Structure 1
């Protein structure tokens, strides 16, 4: 008599979520919780040390500038070395810099230049981590489940950032910014340990390269040779910049003068975050055939928040607008990641991701710096209406690119019944 095999206990993760995907998502949630609070803590650490709003901006710029400067090198390195090692090394750097930052704040010895240097180290770590992380995530799922996987990943990261910001703000008020920075250092250590467990055996070994410059040129050719890719990156270089200026500069001022202060502005930002979660959940079920057409059409509502601030709308209406904008732009985000997964060869994912990241953030410091002069020259309302108009015009221009309208989701080949499910293979080279 044959003993029946013991039944496996039910798994908490979906059947399609492999080991790498699960580890990457868990690590992203952990760092999202820590980072969201740490951004608040860093600003209050500067203020507690006697700094002013200009000093807060200086420390923020000290993080952003190295991030922009090292992104392309980080992308090339991540396509040359095992990506999980690059990610772990970057997490170690971020852990160390945040730990030193925490110690300086807790002991009352933090100086502005020290905080700026530590913020710069954090930016360098992010420059190497970001392209490696995106490349690793894109290579961790199958084509069939990619949209659902990316949607769930983004829901997890957005949710952790919302919760981390709320928890971090409360902890800064209760225990002070130093302990919140220490928690972020621990989060980086935990996330690095999770990422150290990633399995890269399914990724083909890298062929010996011809040097960093050659790798960057290959990534550039891959990027510039796809009109849909560079057109949308150019679009979002401006879109992200004007949205950042509206939210970081004009939003708090309008909230203070017309909406009742910081609390209603925080509620409006939370509504945007809630919208991104709903948009991600929607994309777990909706599979638009024309990926980029659907995604780009959903960028149009992203012009609404600037217009709402220009009026300005009352708090309930502003929250509704922010919610719709968050949900719609998340549809674009999932569609964009799915298109990259489908179209970009696996061995060039990180370099393409680096050009994507560079385009997305390079103009943000310039836009936030020019927000004040733009208000003086044109008036606050006109500057916000101009931001909305730029988003609409650039999105309509992108919709004129044939590849954006015509790129279709490729359905995977059917798998024979009984075929074992494994981690995805490296993506084949595409013509």
Structure 2
């Protein structure tokens, strides 16, 4: 039986923040993102209860391995079958995995091996989900609204990071770790009926999507990136930005707070400052809808983000660090959202999933695996040199952007 055709997105352009179709997508995306945050908190809490801190660290990081290995293939799947269909299917599986963890905790009290197996399976599904979720905005709105949609998506991410921790803690307090996993399953599952109502644009013809082997289609996507004078440096710049940013703002910030004696409350203030800055940048894009000279602004804010990361390690007070983090959040948030909008507006319609998978490979697959390296380097040389080295990598992403004439002059569609 042939699949039922997907409903077409409207062809009349309207502001994304007034488009019910986009708002439904945003609601489903945000609910799923909050569920992800609750899931990872529940996983880390269960792993800490079942083993040593080192073992818990392995369990929480193990999902990054299959994600890194399979993410590019996930982009092929998204392009072949359409991001909406892949998002719906993978969201259902992710909900089922969180629910399975809750049931296991209620019935058997699983050890580290069971938790690790759930984490690995979640990482495998994520490798398919993430490229499709990243490619979906290009199917639900007009090209001229992509920057606004990426700003709205950034607001959803910030809301998820703010609510995920407290909701996960509430789930643990009321129902134990099983309750937190159950809450994660509920939040991820709630996004399914919402996303079912989202209309999407038509898929490219079969001959454009490709029907060779996965490797052949992946190679075709990589050639598409390599041949485009904007995509080629943009993907490199995004990779460098992620490599320079993820380590300092995750494990590095924890180690910096311990070294300075800020405590968990001080670290929370710094993270709050970053979140406010990033939310402000997302709100600006959601409101304005288009930033002139997008390529040039992306490069300048990328270089400035590197400078802010370096400054963060040299600010002695919590208040100063929170202010620096606020600036960093605004710069990195604006740079990242503009880069994402440029990426999707430039990628061919048949290649959005593959281009998205390549551009997010470092942030979701490779960068988390660098945490042990960051921890070792901080132990050997201290936080300031490590932050400075990561800042240089981040600033290099801006230099790549500004150094490419095509990317520097790139504009978002009107």
Q: Give the structure-1-normalised TM-score.
A: 0.85
Q: Distance in 2 between matches of 1:389 and 1:186?
A: 41
Q: Distance in 1 between matches of 2:311 and 2:102?
A: 38
User: What residue ranges of structure 1 are gaps of 5+ in the alignment?
Assistant: 1-12, 412-431
Q: Distance in 2 between matches of 1:227 and 1:115?
A: 44
Which of 1 and 2 has greater Rg?
1
RMSD: 2.3
Q: How does 1:67-82 map to 2 (within 5 A)?
A: 67-82=67-82
The residue aligned with 2:193 is 193
User: What residue ranges of structure 2 are gaps of 5+ in the alignment?
Assistant: 1-13
Look up the SS of the partner of 1:192 in the other structure: helix
Q: Distance in 1 between matches of 2:217 and 2:297?
A: 32
Tell me: CA distance 1:394–1:352, structure 2 relative to 1, closer, same or farther (3 Å). Answer: closer
The residue aligned with 1:237 is 239
Name which of 278, 284, 288 aligns with 2:291. Answer: 288
Tell me: CA distance 1:297–1:72, structure 2 relative to 1, closer, same or farther (3 Å). Answer: same
Name which of 255, 264, 267 aligns with 2:266. Answer: 264
Cα distance, 1:294 vs structure 2: 0.7
User: What whole-Å deviation, never above 9, does each CA across 1:128-154 have from its counterpart, x for those lacking one?
Assistant: 111112222112111232222221232
Name which of 380, 384, 400 aligns with 1:381. Answer: 384
Look up the SS of the partner of 2:403 in the other structure: coil
**Contact between 1:35 and 1:161, CA under 8 Å: does it hold in 2?**
no
Look up the SS of the partner of 2:299 in the other structure: helix
Cα distance, 1:389 vs structure 2: 2.4
Q: Distance in 1 between matches of 2:39 and 2:348?
A: 35
Kindly indicate which of the two structures has a greater share of residues assigned to helix.
2
Tell me: CA distance 1:264–1:27, structure 2 relative to 1, closer, same or farther (3 Å). Answer: same
Tell me: CA distance 1:140–1:30, structure 2 relative to 1, closer, same or farther (3 Å). Answer: same
- In the alignment, structure 1 residue 317 sits paired with structure 2 residue 324: no
The residue aligned with 1:341 is 344
Tell me: CA distance 1:341–1:372, structure 2 relative to 1, closer, same or farther (3 Å). Answer: closer
Tell me: CA distance 1:233–1:313, structure 2 relative to 1, closer, same or farther (3 Å). Answer: farther
Cα distance, 1:224 vs structure 2: 1.4
Tell me: CA distance 1:205–1:197, structure 2 relative to 1, closer, same or farther (3 Å). Answer: farther
**Contact between 2:78 and 2:354, CA under 8 Å: does it hold in 1?**
yes
The residue aligned with 2:116 is 116
Structure 1 stretch displaced more, 22-31 or 188-197 = 188-197
Look up the SS of the partner of 2:63 in the other structure: helix
Aligned pairs, number: 398
Structure 1 stretch displaced more, 272-281 or 155-164 = 155-164
The residue aligned with 1:127 is 127
Tell me: CA distance 1:232–1:342, structure 2 relative to 1, closer, same or farther (3 Å). Answer: closer
The residue aligned with 2:409 is 406
User: What whole-Å deviation, never above 9, does each CA across 1:88-107 have from its counterpart, x for those lacking one?
Assistant: 11112111111111222334
Q: Distance in 2 between matches of 1:363 and 1:74?
A: 15
Q: Distance in 2 between matches of 1:367 and 1:127?
A: 18
